[in-house]
A and B are shown apart, each in its own frame.
Chain A
Amino acid sequence: MATIEDYGTYETAWCPGCGNFSILKAVKQALVARGLESHEVLFVSGIGQAAKAPHYLNANVFNGLHGRSLPVATGAKLANPSLTVIVESGDGCNYGEGGNHFLAAIRRNIDVTVLVHNNQVYGLTKGQASPTSSEGFVTKAQPEGVLSEPFNPIAVAVAMHASFVARGFSGLIDHLSGLIQEAIAHHGFSLVDILQPCVSFNKVNTYAWYKKRCYPLPESYDPTDWEAAMKVAQEWGDRIPIGIIYTTQRPALEDRLGRGTLVGQDVDRTMLKKIMEAYK
């Protein structure tokens, strides 16, 4: 049985007070609670401060290109379905650069868990707006304030019947860890959009700002009720619901393909000869 210590401790590149620290803790907690050992897990990340998180624990890691975690994760999962594959990156990676892949992964219902560190800003590149920045958010790159409506990942995911959609907050570690556990346990595409402050570059959506607004969905809320989820997905502003917003059962792509693992498989040369002879 793995312990938190097995997951290691690493020096990070994060600013003191960054929400990433809490999220990292919640992730480790969740992995331990799920009884997962380091070598059983593959983290796939992109580029950004959030994407560095997988480097700060003991696991298999593919830290790839900005926005391209989901395709890599999809390929890896299809190759070896026994891996627990977790995509961990920021809002820029997942909703901006990787927007098309976000939609496609939901459609496929590939069994990966997607943890999005959503701090509503681009931290690593020093403060430009992200797809989830509020309208009017002022940055050096958007001196007139953001002129587009923010991307609502929860609404899009629910509208597409993504099979597990949740929102968490880095300030509520145990709650978040619970969500991550459920997301990993869920068989199919699981999204956990994790609100977090960026102490260096987002002076609007601060820890206090989120703390005031985030509220856990009540026990009575039924996340299998799609229409209710669509309503909850629109809720943003003074009140921000956190918890499992929608979940359903849909077969995962790898199950529908039924290939099993692609690794270490021989070539069926007898079959190949038959295939070749069909060209005669």
Chain B
Amino acid sequence: MATNRAGSDPTVGEPLAGSRSRRDKPLPYVASKDVLNILIGGEAGQGLVTIGQMLAKVLVRSGYFIVVTQSYQSRIRGGHNTFAIRVGADEIAAPQEPIDVLVALNAETVTLHRDELLPGGLVVADESSEVSCDLCLKVPYKTFSTNRYSNVAALGVLGALLGLDEGLIVQTLDELFGKKDSDVAKENQRVLAESFRWAAEQPSPVKKLVRVSNPPDRLMMGGNDAIALGALSAGVKFYSFYPMTPSTGVALNLAAQAKKMRLVVEQAEDEIAAINMAIGASFAGAPSMVATSGGGFALMVEGVSLAGMTETPVVIVVGQRPAPATGLPTRTEQADLEFVLHSGHGEFPRAIFAPGTVEECFHLTRRAFELAERYQGPMFVLTDQFIADSYRAVAPFDVERLPAVRAGSQQTEIATPYRRYAITDSGVSPRMLPGLTRHLVVVDSDEHTEDGHLTEDLPVRKQMVEKRLRKLAGIRAEVVAPHADGDEQADMLLVSWGSTKGAVAEAAARMRSEGERVATLHFSQVWPVVPEQFMARLQAARDVVCIEGNATAQLARLIRRETGFEIKKRVLRYDGLPITPEFILRELNV
């Protein structure tokens, strides 16, 4: 197996490949009999997300694992959007490029994705459509009902093709649409029954999914859903935001639950207001969070510094998308690691989580709240459009038992007069909340004395810098170690961070199945970096490759900065699309 291109040795910083279109090099691929990849494509406004979400829901309830990839443009109507569902009875964690079933809501979808169809792959299109395809299922949508119900008909057709339980689909439909109108519900059921029956009678090359007996209860959740749930579980009481793709979903989730869970969700006039509101609320004792994307975060950066200086807990979620500036608003990237790491003028401690799965989105958001309160500062969760929008089948969380974070010091004995910034060995000072006791809480964005009042005394300044930075030791001691898989003495070690965890794991598994000794090292916390946790792995591997969704290999650079170890080989993607196992294998020339 070649790890560099024939005859060339990658120079430092040069990626093995850049933004090569996935259609340039078809990969010899053996379709897994147990996994199907369904891609629904059409214009925005045609209902592909509705179909996709309904189908995904039925699949999860049927007991399957799914990985959804949503690909959309920055518009409300027209253009080209896709909703891909990779489904299998066994656990899957990565998206897939080759397509088994292409559901084309318009002809353009076939033109654009024809080359990704597997041999034996099926195109499902309207019978009036002029698409030409080798294997076509032309569906007489018009005979089932009006346009309004074509989504339901598509669902019925797919349900039959995949071998799903019709009753389960009806049940799901009723839940989602039944309440609106019983006439609608009746028509839904009728259309579903007819389309299902019709499709069941058609010859189809698609192998039906293996039935799962006694499907366990799983949740259909994407990254944003999990972050919201994790925040609620951790005790979030204040959330402020300005809408920005791909993080708006966090706000919508929390807004829907705000009254029930007794929190305040406030849409701010701008992101500067959002972060400052969250800091104000947190200062007063409400665990607070904001979520945004790179451009919105740019406006929050002064606030980050404020949180660091005033030592106010706040959780900041940054959902990455291609930049600079407005970039590709609806696509995915992992290029803000360095930005988030260095954000906020001055020096103060922080932690940055980069969940690799939807489950990690839940748990690491909780952890961010814990650290924010414990170390009294800004803590970050880095996601991206891919994982924010990627529905998975997730085991329920133990929300009844997981404890919430309590704001403020629980200490009963507080020296008077109270000093908000009392110097301590750990750097953490007891945090009283204003108005709850007779103690006065004074905090300042200027440098300050222990009692919080403004100072320009330089020796005090030095003391305060050191106090704040001492907190880093505590944060460091609690770092979530990178996850290593495979032999320590590997021929190739794939290093990654954030949402690419599944794709990298699958690429490694495929290489192993070909006899390669491949290991993986995945960082779900990218700051602080604790070399003792992973250096042995880096040094023992013959070749180390860093796989990232950016052009400058930001994690590789960070590892070099902190350890001196240079990861020369890189697999980088920065065309706005998620990293897939196929992309990795192509770039490694496997």
Contact = CB atoms under 8 A, between A and B. Distances in A.
Interface string A16-58: 0000000000000000000001111010100100001001001
Contacts of B62: none
A272 B442 contact: no
B260 interface: yes
Given A64-B310, A83-B284, A280-B217, A275 B260 contact: yes
> Which one of B273, B280, B282 has the highest number of Cβ atoms from chain A below 10 Å of its Cβ?
B280
A141 interface: no
Contacts of A136: none
> Which one of A52, A58, A101 has the highest number of Cβ atoms from chain B below 10 Å of its Cβ?
A101
A64 B434 contact: no
Nearest to B439: A39
Given A55-B442, A100-B273, A104-B269, A272 B284 contact: no
A100 B61 contact: no
A42 B233 CA distance: 29
A86 to B, nearest CB: 12
Contacts of B443: 61-63
B225 A279 contact: yes
A252 B273 CA distance: 19
Interface stretch (A161-169, A174-182, A223-231, A262-270): A262-270
> Which one of B217, B225, B284, B404 has the highest number of Cβ atoms from chain A below 10 Å of its Cβ?
B284
Contact of B302 (A61, A65, A75, A271): A65
A75 B229 CA distance: 22
Interface string B403-422: 01011100000000000000
A71 B435 contact: no
Contact of B283 (A76, A103, A264): A76
A269 B399 contact: yes
Given A103-B269, A273-B400, A75 B284 contact: yes
Contact of A71 (B280, B284, B401): B280
Given A262-B264, A276-B229, A75 B435 contact: no
Nearest to A59: B440
Nearest to B270: A100
Interface string B216-238: 01111100010001001101011
A270 B237 contact: no
B178 to A, nearest CB: 15
Contact of B284 (A47, A63, A76, A276): A76
A262 B263 contact: yes
A71 B233 CA distance: 26
A2 to B, nearest CB: 11
> Which one of B60, B408, B437, B446 has the highest number of Cβ atoms from chain A below 10 Å of its Cβ?
B446
Contacts of A268: 260-262
A175 B169 CA distance: 72
B488 interface: no
Nearest to A75: B280
A39 B235 CA distance: 26
Contacts of B442: 55, 60-61, 63
Contact of B306 (A64, A73, A269, A273): A64
Contacts of B281: 75-76, 78-79, 262
A79 B262 CA distance: 11
B576 interface: no
B276 A80 contact: no
A240 B442 CA distance: 36
B220 A79 contact: no
Given A75-B280, A78-B264, A276-B219, A61 B452 contact: yes
A73 B264 CA distance: 15
Contacts of B277: 71-72, 74-75, 78
B436 interface: yes
A279 B433 CA distance: 36
Contacts, number: 208
Contacts of B225: 279
Contacts of A42: 284, 434-435
A264 B284 CA distance: 10
Interface residues of A, number: 55
A117 interface: no
Contact of A60 (B272, B303, B440, B445): B440
Contacts of B218: 280
Contacts of A73: 280
Contact of B435 (A82, A257, A266): A82
Contact of A104 (B229, B233, B237, B273): B273
Interface in B372-430: 396-397, 399-401, 404, 406-408
Interface string B252-284: 000001001111101011101110111111111
A5 interface: no
B168 to A, nearest CB: 12
A52 B454 contact: yes
A272 B238 contact: no
B549 interface: no
> Which one of B277, B279, B303, B401 has the highest number of Cβ atoms from chain A below 10 Å of its Cβ?
B277
B445 A64 contact: yes
B240 interface: yes
B180 interface: no
B435 A60 contact: yes
B346 to A, nearest CB: 13
Given A76-B434, A80-B285, A104-B269, A262 B262 contact: yes
> Which one of A55, A71, A104 has the highest number of Cβ atoms from chain B below 10 Å of its Cβ?
A71
B108 interface: no
A279 B358 CA distance: 13
Contacts of B237: 79, 262-263, 265
Contacts of A280: 60-61, 217-220, 396
B276 A72 contact: yes
Contacts of A39: 434-435, 437-440
Contacts of A277: 219, 396
Contacts of A44: 280
A187 interface: no
Contacts of B221: 279
A248 B452 CA distance: 37
Interface of A: 37-40, 42, 44, 47, 52, 55, 58-65, 68, 70-80, 82-83, 100-101, 103-104, 257, 259-260, 262-273, 275-277, 279-280
18 contacts: A38-B440, A39-B438, A42-B284, A55-B444, A61-B440, A61-B443, A72-B279, A75-B282, A75-B283, A78-B238, A78-B286, A79-B237, A80-B284, A83-B435, A264-B285, A266-B404, A267-B261, A267-B404
Given A265-B262, A271-B260, 11 more contacts: A61-B441, A64-B279, A71-B277, A74-B277, A76-B283, A80-B284, A101-B273, A267-B233, A268-B262, A271-B261, A279-B225
For the complex of A and B, list the 3 residue pairs with the smallest distance between their C-beta atoms, beginning with the closest. Answer: A75-B280, A72-B280, A75-B281
